[in-house]
Structure 1
Amino acid sequence: MTAAGAHDPAPEVAKTPEAIRAALLPEERAQFDESCRWAVGHAAAEQSLAPVHEVLDQWHLIARVTRHDPAAHRRMLERIAETIRTGEVSGRVRTWDEIQAGRGAGRMPERR
């Protein structure tokens, strides 16, 4: 990936279950399916589509990030799995300021 590519916005993915599922890594699709089943069950029980919208919003973001850089997303999932397995964070952990500096952005805004 080029430096310019790292700053491109995540590609569009339609906010439909089919499009979201297609954009996910194969190893995430079962979890997506489970989340959708949970949301539909809760939507019926609550007589509200809010759980469905919440699940689709969450997975839509993951799908866009995945479509933007599937290899980076897979590495992130592998690091998470290793951290859960070992209880230790592998590799170098960077602060928000370090990440932003690498992107040419300024410091994180101060909280009020």
Structure 2
Amino acid sequence: MAAIAASIFVISNDQLASLKRVCGGTSTFRALSALVWQCACAAWRLPPDAEARISFSVNARRRGSMIPVRYMGNGALMVYATGVARDIASGALEHVAGRIRTGAVGDRLPS
């Protein structure tokens, strides 16, 4: 069984603004996710041609989903982004953040 570790990283507003600029002015979520995904791929030492995947949930209500307006429950979808490990681990963060932006939901892209 794999060990699980947890850490808290404090990022200042200036560091976050700089990271978002490096990522092409993307959202805070995409910028931080791109950084974590890139660092994880480098740390895992995946084979260069291996598929690297990151998954996260998104609010389906804002995405033109088929959830009825009167539905009272949660409306979340699992979304994932993939890439070649070599490209994620050593590519430009803007490119990695772009992969997260165009993540797939099953067979279709989120709108």
TM-score range for the pair, normalised by the shorter chain length? under 0.3
| Structure (1 or 2) with the larger CA radius of gyration | 1
Choose between structure 1 and 2 for higher RCO, CA contacts under 8 A separated by at least 6 residues.
2
TM-score (norm 1): 0.26
TM-score (norm 2): 0.26
Structure with greater helix percent:
1
